[in-house]
Each structure stands twice: as C-alpha cells, then as structure tokens.
Amino acid sequence: MAENAKLTRVRALLATAEDAATTPEAAESYRARAFALMAKYGIEEAALSVDGPGDVMTDRTFTISAPWTLEQASLLNRVALASQCSAINLGCVEGSPSRLVRVFGASGDLERVEILYSSLRVQMLRELGLAQVPWHVQPGGPTRAWRRSFLVAGDGGDPDRGGAQYGAGAVEPQRKGGAVDARGVPGAAHGQAEVERDGRC
C-alpha cells in the first residue's frame, strides 16, 4: 500500500472512530485497526531508511486551545514518544489561554503524530463531556479535580485504567525519553510540565 493510501486509510478509520454515531465498542475496534496500520507503516519506513537517507528531521508547533491545555499537552507528548519524536512544552501564549508545544522528529513521524493526536484529542474531550460526575463530588473545585483525574487516567496516567476511556493507552512509547518544558527541565512520566500559576492554560 502506497504511503498516501496508508495515511488515507488511517484517517478514515480514525474519523469513523470519532463519529458520534459510532458505538464505543466499534470505535475501539476502528482505533485498534488504525494504530496497527500506523505501527506497521512505521516499521516499514524504518526498514527502508536503513539503505537510504530517510526522512528529514524537522519540527512542528502545536497550538493547544483551552480548556484543559495541560492535559492535552500530556496527551500530545505521549503520542509523540510513541511515534519516536520529542516534545517540548513552551508554556502559555502571552495574553491568551492557549499553550504551545513543539514536537521534533522525522517528517513522516510528525505526520503520524498530528493524525493520531488530532483524533485522540477529539475523542478525549468528547468522552469528558459525556462523563457523569459522581453524585458525591461537590460543584466547583472538586468537580474540576475529578474531570482532570478523568483526563489523566484516560491518557495513560493511571496504570490501572490504561486509557480505557478513549483508547490513548493503545499508544505505547517505543523508546525512552520525556517531555521537557521551555527551561529544559524534564517533565513528569507522561509529559506534564509545571502548571502555570495564573491558571489560564
């Protein structure tokens, strides 16, 4: 299957998984097929690059819009690591609730990062919107804390849940590494940099 055909197929599978009309069980199946195809594509590309120049190393900057920018950045970092890329959290955009994350890697790997992250982000936020906050959780701060724990568990931060909500747990890192913030300080295990003090992003 040619490169463009592979990526088109992956996009189609992920788009079906994102569709609100797709049942959770079917969405999980479509995601698994997309991840398997992406993994196979990556292995084939790596094998081909042994005897050739391979992909050009480059970078791509992602603008993450509020809300939950830190949790979205964590998801992006996890996908980047799984795609053999490195992510740097540049922090909040001055005067804006958005956050910037720069991802470095081979051009083909970056394309896969963008495809997977875009799909998982849609599914993550949709699942958060559908999630029922337990009755005993009080409105306000505790509710937000519960939603944040839901997102962290969903992107693999909770080993007991492993991304069960939206399938991010299916994206497993293929090499050692970690995100760093703009000062070069290593991030947490799944890429969370320090929380901005003003709480805007």
99 has which bridge partners? 64, 92
pLDDT-based confidence at 64, cuts 50/70/90?
Answer: very high
pLDDT tens-digit map of 80-136 = 998 889 999 999 998 888 999 999 999 888 988 998 898 888 887 777 666 656 555
6 Cβ contact partners less than 8 Å away, ≥ 6 residues apart: 37, 41
Give me the sheet containing 180-181, strands edge to edge: 57-64, 99-106, 86-92, 180-181
Q: pTM for this one?
A: 0.60
pLDDT tens-digit map of 130-145 = 665 655 555 555 655 5
Q: What is the mean pLDDT of residues 176-198?
A: 36
Give the domains, in start order, of the chain with CATH numbers.
Answer: 56-181 (3.30.1370.10)
| Residue at 121: amino acid letter | R
pLDDT tens-digit map of 16-49 = 988 888 888 888 888 888 888 877 776 566 655 5
Average of per-residue pLDDT values in the chain: 70
DSSP character at residue 138: P
Q: Please give the full DSSP string across 43-110, using - where no structure is assigned.
A: HHHHHHHTTS--PPEEEEEEEEPSSSHHHHHHHHHHHHHHTT-EEEEEEEPTTSS-EEEEEEEEHHHH
Q: Please choose, from the candidates 66, 62, 72, the residue with its C-alpha nearest in 3D space to the C-alpha of residue 98.
A: 66
57 Cβ contact partners less than 8 Å away, ≥ 6 residues apart: 104, 105, 106, 107
